[in-house]
């Protein structure tokens, strides 16, 4: 049976589409390489190709003449180290959990935050995210501490930071196992049937699932406070070419020529990071009750 990508999960692929196809290189300038790191997200390079080309063209028009752009979409954490070693990327778009776990390894410097559009809406993009623990409506647990078995989700591809963000515990100290899956609809049905203890999801995944028939069998048991959306980061301090990339992304929201492209990307654009919120999240992640480096 052919698998169809859920539109909201495809959005994560589209964010990186700009850098999957290179713009026309010139001998005068080495290409700027990008990575989109979305553990557990579905799809392939080929499926993202139509939006890739349009966003690549847009960025090329806003970079210094002769600057080429190329990149990779990575949905497996095993792909990241060899890609970094081979491509020598300068910029990446990363999920918050993966950023927290690897920011020191790659000397990541946050520059912008994505602005995903609320499901089924147009207008202003979301400036924050939340993670949710969903269980069956027949589950009588009073809290997550009494769950056992397996809890699944794409977020479970980065179980340690998610455990600390959502439950303020190391993953090994949870009463259940965090099982990675890229098949959320199937997992939601397993939760409804009692085959899984629960499902951990982002805001967009939560809204999407609850709008489907499967959502009538799910309820929220626990959620985080406000978190920051996926981040645009540079590997080390940005130089002039990287500043041009960042400015091009930042300017898309107010550029009429980017309106249709942003709609395809399911985002309102790229905006400032809530630095205070990010510092708080980093501090909580690294405190003794969380992860120490």
* pLDDT single digits (tens) 31-50: 788 888 889 887 766 676 67
pLDDT computed for residue 255 by the predictor: 95
At residue 118 the predicted structure's pLDDT band, cuts being 50, 70 and 90, is low
> Residue 28 above 90 pLDDT?
no
Q: Does domain 131-223 have CATH number 3.40.190.10?
A: yes
Locate 67 and state its tokens. 């600057």
CB 125 within 8 A of CB 266: no
Rounded Cα distance between 238 and 244, Å, is: 9
192 vs 74, more confident: 192
Band of residue 141 on the pLDDT scale cut at 50, 70, 90: very high
Average model confidence (pLDDT) for the chain? 84
Pick the CATH number of 7-126+228-286 from 3.90.1150.10, 3.40.50.10090, 1.25.40.10, 3.40.190.10: 3.40.190.10
Q: Which tens digits make up the pLDDT trace of 216-273?
A: 999 999 999 999 999 999 999 999 889 988 999 999 999 999 999 888 777 788 999 9
**How far is residue 191 from each of residues 22, 149, 208, 248, measured CA to CA in Å?**
42, 11, 16, 43
Q: Where are the domains of the chain?
A: 7-126+228-286, 131-223
Judge residue 79's burial from the number of C-beta atoms within 10 Å of its C-beta, 0-12 exposed, 13-18 middle, 19 or more buried: middle
**pLDDT at residue number 20:** 46
The model's pTM is: 0.84
pLDDT of residue 148: 95
Confidence at residue 29, expressed as pLDDT on a 0 to 100 scale = 67
**Residue 146: pLDDT over 90:** yes
Amino acid 122: pLDDT: 45
C-alpha distances in angstroms, 254 versus 163, 249, 257?
37, 10, 9
Fold agreement (7-126+228-286, 131-223)? yes
With beta carbons less than 8 A apart as the criterion, state whether 56 and 264 touch: no
Mean pLDDT of 175-184: 96
Q: Residue 98, Cβ neighbours under 10 Å: how many? A: 22
């Amino acid at each position: 049976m052919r698998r169809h990508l859920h539109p909201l999960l495809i959005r994560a692929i589209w964010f990186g589409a700009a850098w999957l196809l290179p713009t026309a290189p010139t001998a005068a300038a080495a290409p700027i390489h990008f990575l989109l790191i979305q553990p557990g997200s579905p799809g392939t390079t080929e499926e993202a190709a139509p939006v890739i080309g349009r966003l690549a063209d847009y960025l090329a028009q806003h970079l210094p003449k002769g600057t080429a752009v190329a990149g990779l979409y990575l949905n497996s954490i095993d792909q990241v180290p060899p890609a970094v070693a081979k491509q020598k990327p300068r910029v990446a778009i990363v999920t918050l959990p993966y950023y927290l776990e690897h920011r020191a390894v790659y000397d990541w410097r946050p520059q912008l935050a994505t602005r995903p559009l609320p499901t089924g809406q147009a207008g202003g993009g979301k400036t924050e995210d939340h993670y949710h623990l969903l269980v069956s409506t027949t589950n009588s647990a009073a809290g997550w501490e009494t769950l056992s078995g397996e809890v699944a989700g794409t977020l479970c591809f980065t179980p340690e930071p998610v455990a600390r963000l959502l439950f303020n515990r190391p993953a090994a100290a949870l009463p259940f196992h965090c099982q990675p899956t890229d098949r959320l609809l199937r997992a939601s049905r397993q939760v409804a049937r009692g085959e899984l203890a629960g499902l951990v999801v982002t805001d967009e995944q939560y809204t999407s699932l609850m709008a489907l028939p499967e959502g009538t069998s799910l309820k929220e048991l626990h959620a985080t406070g406000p978190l920051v959306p996926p981040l645009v980061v540079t590997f080390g301090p940005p130089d002039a070419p990287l500043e041009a990339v960042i400015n091009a992304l930042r300017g898309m929201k107010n550029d009429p020529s980017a309106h249709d492209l942003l709609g395809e990307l399911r985002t309102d654009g790229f905006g400032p990071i809530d630095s205070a919120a990010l510092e708080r999240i980093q501090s909580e992640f690294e405190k003794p009750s969380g992860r120490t480096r």
